[in-house]
């Protein structure tokens, strides 16, 4: 399954860009990043392939890493070819985009800069694929 991050704004060369690249390189699944301008541009149509759309939104569902991984694994096992993860600009997403999402996903009630969300999402995608493959990266419940 292709994990496709569709993000508003240009990340450029930054610490966040380095984190995104670091985590995406570690993912064994296919990955892709599409950058759109803050306004306008065309979001790739998920109807062109069997796809799911995850919209990052502060009002979305908060999920544990394991539950998030299990959701992605279920979609993969159901034959989904692509999952798009939409990251909005400063003003978020339109009501239409949120209505059409398969999942509204949140990193919690705090407001996060959208460039940081991109890095956090890349890490969670790596963590989810690591969980699904049995890789020891995720140590739920481990204490130091």
Which residues are known binding-site members for S-adenosyl-L-methionine?
A: 56, 88
Q: How far apart are CA 37 and CA 1, in angstroms?
A: 26
CB of 6 closer than 8 Å to CB of 101: no
CA atoms within 13 A of residue 15's CA, in its CB half-sphere: 1
Encoding tokens for residue 73? 């694994």
Alpha carbon distance 48, 56 (integer Å):
21
Binding residue positions: 56, 88
């Amino acid at each position: 399954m292709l994990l496709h991050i569709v993000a508003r704004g240009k990340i450029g060369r930054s610490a966040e860009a380095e984190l995104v690249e670091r985590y995406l390189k570690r993912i064994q699944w296919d990955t892709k990043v599409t950058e759109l301008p803050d306004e306008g541009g065309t979001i790739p149509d998920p109807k062109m392939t069997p796809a799911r759309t995850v919209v990052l939104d502060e009002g979305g569902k908060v999920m544990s890493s394991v539950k998030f991984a299990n959701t992605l694994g279920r979609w993969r096992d159901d034959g989904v070819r692509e999952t798009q993860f939409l990251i909005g600009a400063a003003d978020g997403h339109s009501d239409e985009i949120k209505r059409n999402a398969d999942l509204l996903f949140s990193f919690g009630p705090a407001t996060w800069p959208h460039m940081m969300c991109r890095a956090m999402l890349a890490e969670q995608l790596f963590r989810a694929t690591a969980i699904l493959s049995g890789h020891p990266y995720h140590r739920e419940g481990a204490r130091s």
